[in-house]
Every structure is written in C-alpha cells, then in structure tokens.
Chains A and B, each alone.
Chain A
C-alpha cells in the first residue's frame, strides 16, 4: 500500500508533473506567476480544489455513467471552485484581494478535470485524495519556481508581499535578491512566462535524460547496492 503512495508522490512531483511534464494548466500558470508569492497562492488554492474534486468524483465513480461523466465532473469542479472563492472572500478577505482574480481561473485549469478523468474516476477514494494532494503540490512547486525565476529576473525580489498571503509572520520570506535593480519588464509580462516555462521544461528534460543515461550504463547498479 505504501508502495502505491510512494509511486503517486514520485509521479506527481516529478515524472508526471502537471506543468513540467503534462504541460497542462498553462492558462493559470502564465497568468499568475509574475511573482513567487502569487504562484504559491494559486498553487495552494488549486491543491485544495484538486483534493476535494478527486475524492468526491472517486466516491461517486460507480454511480456516474460513462455518457454523462464529463458534465457531471465539470459541474462538481465549478461548484467547488465557487465554494473556495466565496469562502476566501468572506473569511480571508485580505488574501482574496491578492488572489481573487485568479481563483475563478482554477475552473479553466484542465489539469483538475484531467485528474478526475485519468485517476479519480478509476481509483478508490484515499489514493484519489493522495493523487489530488500530490498533483496539487507538484503544481504548487512548479508555479512557485516559475514565479521565483520571473520575479528575480524581472524585479530583483523574491516572495514580495508574502505577508499578504501567509500573514505577517512570513514577512521574513520577502527578499531583495538584486539590490538597486532597475527591473527587466519582459520577464514580468506574459512573454516572460513562456520563456521561463520553456527553459524550465528544457532543464527538466536534460536532467531526465542524464538519469536515463546513467541507469542504462549501469543496469545492475541498483541490484549491487541492494
């Protein structure tokens, strides 16, 4: 059983990462990652929706017929997003002022429907919840990295306004990486998002290929160690 969860974790965070491998959910990715803080906030909100939608859809996977599954999933996902949206607006209004525009964008994140269709519709509730959590975390990490790259190159800061998202206890995260930086507007604007994502995907491919080459050269390295 723990083997299953380990595989889900590995797949979600690296092998099958929503942004860097599946290249899904690029609409919200490009829209929000002008700073690392925005990426982190969007990632966490998406994770919450992913966990809930995966578990809910998994719990009714026997009752939903093939022909109407897509509208059923979409209605459920849209409802969950709206619930997250109104609760944050009501009970974490300062956070809403930072994230408000982006929360509705989660509906447009095809990765949520993708996980419902590819995993939750075929698997039990707990693994589906785990899949949602780990896919969400993989998405969060990806968005935070993209945001960090764009923010450092574009504005010279890192995690600016983190206290608005996480509370004043986290203002230590706000850093000025490059002092007296004039700013590089291109990275903040949409083209910077495409550039950052492109280079990061290329970087991941290089790492994957190196690892493949290593395991091909030493096929029995693993068995020797064990």
Chain B
C-alpha cells in the first residue's frame, strides 16, 4: 500500500498522531534533562543575588544551603541564615503583600538585633508609572525600610502616612506601598515571634 491510500485509514491517522506525540514527548524529556541542571544553577544565582541585595556584608556560610522551614505570615516560608563563625548574624526570608493588581513578593533581611538590613520587591504586577516605584530601578522608596525595627518606628506607625504612619505613599498609588508596608510589618512580627528559633546557632541542614 502506498502513502496515499494509507493516509485515509483511521488506524494510520491514530498511529501517526500517537507517533508525533511520542516523539515530541521524548524530545521534551531529553531537553528537560539537558537543561534542568543549568536552570537550577541559574535560579540559585538569582537567589544568591537577591540575598546579597537585602543583606550586604560578608558571611562565611552558604546561605542557600543553611535554611529553616517555618510557618510564616503567608504560610510556610524558607528562611536563609547568614553566619559568622557559626553564630547566626542575620536571616533573610520572603513575605507577600496584597498590591493593587495581585500579590507583591518581597525578600527582606533582618539582623540579630531586629533591624531591617534591606527589602527588595522580587515580583509584582503593579501599574507601570504609578505603583512600580517600589522597584529600586524606579525610585528610592524601598530603601526607607533599612535600619527600621519593630520599636522604631513604634508598631502603630508602621503604615503609610495617609494611615498615620511614617512611610511615604506615591501620588496616585496608595494601595501598593500600603501592601508592601503591611507585608514587611508582618515579616517583622514573624521575626519577633520566632526569634529564638531563627537565631538558634545549632547547625542547620536543608
């Protein structure tokens, strides 16, 4: 039988579709194998970068491997610990706030005295030109958190100025900074509550 006649057969059609699906699936499986290590390495590099941004300074452990899994303000959260000579000097973890257009993910670093070492927004969908001033590339606002702690300013002042707090809002966008401030405050309360476990010096595994 030639190809012309075969093409009309139901069996051939089903087999050819199945064959294509099989080949493409195999190609995807191979590609996944070839790339997964490189992708994981690239993501680890990204993570390392965001860690150094919120937590400047030299530490002598591999923070990506020295983690704790705790119940945080937004469900389970991975806490990265930075040590010098075995002592936990600071921790970095992710908090999520509610923005104008969905969740805003932030990384924040807190040192052992409870002072914020830095906050960076890692993912958001806020309006370009209005809400995106939370990015360091678009404005200095996110640096206002540095050096703040739960007592300074006092808890009731942990809000945007419109709500009687100390943090600026943006012209035309109050919901975005309000969401970030609330998320960071939640992160500080989490740090306060879990302080003993976070700063426990016993070596941690994965």
Contacts and interface: CB of A to CB of B under 8 A. Distances in A.
B35 interface: yes
B130 interface: yes
Main secondary structure of the interface of A (DSSP, over half): helix
B8 A90 contact: no
Interface string B163-181: 0000000000000000000
Interface in A170-226: 183, 185, 188-189
Main secondary structure of the interface of B (DSSP, over half): helix
Nearest to B10: A67
Contacts, number: 70
B27 A79 contact: yes
Residue among B8, B13, B36, B127 with most chain A CB within 10 A:
B13
Q: What interface size band does chain A fall in? A: 20 to 34
B31 interface: yes
Interface residues of B, number: 27
B16 A90 contact: no
A170 to B, nearest CB: 19
Interface in B77-131: 127-130
A75 interface: yes
A65 B3 CA distance: 10
Interface of B: 3, 7-8, 12-14, 16-17, 20-21, 24, 27-28, 31-32, 34-36, 38-39, 42, 45-46, 127-130
